[in-house]
A and B are shown apart, each in its own frame.
Chain A
Amino acid sequence: MATGFAHKRLSLPQGISIVKADDLKEWQMDIKVLDENPLYMNKTFRLKFTFSDRYPIANPGFTYSEPPEVQFIQVPDNSDTPRPIPMHPHIYSNGIICLDLLGRSGWSPVQTAESVCMSIQSMLTANTKDERPPGDKEFITHNRRRIRDINFVYEDDDV
């Protein structure tokens, strides 16, 4: 269980900082987009990692290792540290991210909180569309499933 913990104290890449990593249940990280993408300039976003009891060992019958749940969380604008949900065609307005590396099929045990943050950073950097995924409203009103149970269809190879 100490495996992921090792990364807590690592010197992190630019634009990534730890907000909270006191236990092995939930971590929060702040990320910034480093280049001058007008969509995300001067904004900081907060990612939440939720690790299951079994992390990093997968449930029997699935693949060998299990991904944590990763999503953006919002901190209201009027707080000291406002953290909006970034605008992106694969990020729902409730913070849920549609990214294959976060799903069971795309996850690999060599990924770390750090590498996930960097992947998401680059996913934001590359984006030029100021929009939400299709069906965002419907999804956020009705989704009650845990992230791990959602069956995303990854069809967009551009991001």
Chain B
Amino acid sequence: MEQSFELADSTDWIDTPLNLLGPLESSLRCQICKDFFTSPVITSCCHTFCSLCIRRCLSSDHKCPVCRQADQELKLRRNWTVEELLENFKKARPSVLGLARKEAARIKNGGDDSSEPSPKKRKVNHLDEPEPPAALSPRRVRTRSRGAKVQADPTHGQEEIEESDVAIEPEVIEDSQDEDYSDDGLVPCPICNRRVRQDTINTHLDTCLAGDSPKPPPVKSSTAFGYRHPQGSELKKLERLPAINYSLFKEHALRKKMRDLGISDAGPKPLLQRRHTEWMNLWNANCDSKNPKSKSQLARELDTWERTQGGNAVPSAPERNPVTSKDFNAAQWSANHNDEFKLLIANARKKSDAQVRSTIPRVSESSNAAAEIPSPTVPSPHFGTPAADQNDSTPSG
């Protein structure tokens, strides 16, 4: 079990007494990228994915990857509940996991700590308690201390009451902030949705519109209001890009469109299409985001795409055709495939054209992939890659 990865993973819980949190965490992860949801959206078949993940899927497959029901990007809707759930889970995760690991280590060391109640707790977890005892969350501890204060009787010293007051303080303020939310003097920026002080909104707007807003931390994090209140009306400003039917676009029209969007128009038409699709997906997924990125940030992401999957991507090894590579060793090749060549020649001699035709229907009526084999042609490259190659497929150049 290597912890060298600093990646959070649902398997982190397995070896702790809270192993039932593993499945909980799994369900907060996108089934496509296996990471926590980023801007979760729900499909018309009610499956939830990251906005970008499902957009990429739908733009190539047009169906839900889970149930394979046909769907369209237009029908995706944001899933705020999941986002909120996730945000709060992520906040709680480090402390809960820390405690769980501490406990796991303690158990491993034979539980030799003097503290009594813990072994009992562990037993409960192992049986059927689905959730960890809430005593692990700091909030609960505070609630208790508040209860203690209410019950505080005159026999207790003044100091002790003051102490419990101090413990309660942060929570009380938090609550009142929730309720006074709209009175905090902040207004949401219509571009980036960050909350900004009213007297600075104009300067903020200028930088935002310039497309490269600085990234102040969101002033107010996730309260239930925070999600619904500003978003609905303001998000109209971030307009989504419509999908376009590439076959209706002449190449130069597509290039112009891409220049207008501010993205590169270089490369052949298929590449233009893929780049436009990727940009549309990035852009529209960004529209689903609670904290949308600036256009220049998106442009950098498109650039990453360009280097890894787009026009600048290095073709992967299996795509290389060994026959056309510079260091192609003809003798080696013919030695390796000698048997195949002989078989092909034999087949070619045996069969007339008519017979060759008759083999073709057989291909489709049997599930047998071998039917292609007797085709009496010189092996085309995709046909003859030796099986041995798949084990040591190092890029040849």
**Chain A residues within CB distance 8 Å of chain B:** 2-4, 6-11, 50, 52-54, 57-65, 69, 90, 98, 108-110, 133-135, 138-139, 142-146, 148-156
Contacts and interface: CB of A to CB of B under 8 A. Distances in A.
Interface in B331-351: 337, 340, 343
A108 B66 contact: yes
A52 B316 contact: yes
Contacts, number: 127
A154 B390 contact: no
Given A110-B65, A146-B318, A90 B309 contact: no
18 contacts: A2-B5, A3-B33, A9-B9, A10-B22, A50-B390, A53-B395, A54-B316, A57-B309, A90-B367, A109-B31, A110-B31, A135-B368, A144-B383, A146-B387, A146-B390, A151-B369, A151-B372, A153-B367
Nearest to A143: B370
Interface of B: 1, 5, 7, 9-11, 14, 22, 31-35, 53, 56-57, 59-61, 65-66, 68, 270, 274, 308-309, 313, 316-319, 337, 340, 343, 363-373, 382-387, 389-390, 395
A70 B354 CA distance: 37
A134 B11 contact: no
B60 A52 contact: no
Contacts of B390: 50, 69, 146
A151 B9 CA distance: 37
Contacts of A151: 369, 372
Nearest to A63: B60
Nearest to B368: A135
A155 B367 contact: yes
Contact of A6 (B9, B364, B373): B9
Nearest to A110: B31
Contacts of A69: 390
Contact of B313 (A2, A60, A98, A109): A60
Is chain A's binding surface mostly helix, strand, loop or mixed? Answer: loop
A61 B319 CA distance: 13
Is chain B's binding surface mostly helix, strand, loop or mixed? Answer: helix
Contacts of A6: 7, 9-11, 34
A108 B65 contact: yes
B189 to A, nearest CB: 33
A138 B61 contact: no
A9 to B, nearest CB: 4
Contacts of A58: 60
A143 B385 contact: no
B316 A133 contact: no
Contacts of B14: 9-11
A139 B215 CA distance: 60
A96 to B, nearest CB: 8
Given A6-B10, A146-B387, A138 B373 contact: yes
Contact of B56 (A8, A64, A134, A156): A64
A153 B309 contact: no
A98 B56 contact: no
A134 B66 contact: no
Contacts of A60: 270, 274, 309, 313
A149 B33 CA distance: 26
B61 A135 contact: no
B264 to A, nearest CB: 16
Given A3-B33, A3-B34, A152-B369, A145 B383 contact: yes
- Nearest 4 A-B pairs (CB), nearest first? A139-B370, A135-B368, A9-B11, A110-B31
Contact of A134 (B9, B53, B368): B368
Given A2-B5, A64-B57, A144-B340, A98 B369 contact: yes
Instruction: Please indicate which of the listed interface residues A58, A146, A155 has the most CB atoms of chain B within 10 Å of its own CB.
Output: A146
A67 to B, nearest CB: 12
A59 B68 CA distance: 21
Given A60-B274, A146-B318, A153-B363, A2 B340 contact: no
A144 B386 contact: yes
Nearest to B29: A6
